[in-house]
Amino acid sequence: MITHLDKQGNPTMVDVTSKQASHRTATARSIVCMPAEVLEHLAGGDLQSKKGPVFQTAIIAGIMAAKKTGDLIPLCHPLGLDNCNITISINELQEIVIDCTASITAKTGIEMEALVGASIAALTVYDMCKAMSHNIVIKETKLLSKTGGKRDFNRA
């Protein structure tokens, strides 16, 4: 069942009027593959570019984007987040791992905010490092988990 279509097949926002507010969380992850020559610029846990500290800037951009999800995705409800946290690390494959966790007490889910936050943080890493190499790949963005609402989800 596609929830964003009315009986006539036209796009519509999901009506959450009769739903009860509940605490909801979601975590999404984006992975950025970076050439070794770019990762060599890792200093003090953050990449340094001519534009400044890459990870710190990406965290701020991701949080700002998560807060604007309702403006970016046409049928998303505008939500005032209770919290949004982005972490960035380097995994054993030398990939940049960006996790965004968002939470709210509301009548609708928060997964899109987490996905947008992780995605925009990844795009910010790309933007800030492209002067060093265009051989940067945003490998994937996926929902890791969500709680609240009709059912929880946890990617094993």
Q: What is the CATH number of the domain that holds 40?
A: 3.30.70.640
Are 13 and 77 within 8 A, CB to CB?
yes
**Residue 31 located in a structural domain:** no
**Residue 64 located in a structural domain:** yes
Number of domains the chain contains: 1
**Residue 126 located in a structural domain:** yes
**Residue 19 located in a structural domain:** no
Which residues make Cβ contacts (< 8 Å) with residue 51, sequence separation at least 6? Answer: 57, 127, 128, 131
Tell me which residues are annotated as active site: 127
Q: What is the mean pLDDT of each run of 10 residues along the chain (156 residues)?
A: 74 83 97 92 78 94 97 92 96 95 95 98 96 95 95 90
pLDDT of amino acid 45: 76
Q: Which domain holds residue 86?
A: 36-147
Are 112 and 3 within 8 A, CB to CB?
no
What is the torsional sign of CA 13, 4, 112, 134?
negative
**Residue 65 located in a structural domain:** yes
Are 119 and 107 within 8 A, CB to CB?
no
Question: Within 5-53, where are the H helices?
Answer: 36-39
**Residue 16 located in a structural domain:** no
pLDDT of amino acid 126: 96
**Residue 154 located in a structural domain:** no
- Say how far apart CA 32 and CA 142 lie, in whole Å: 12
**Residue 152 located in a structural domain:** no
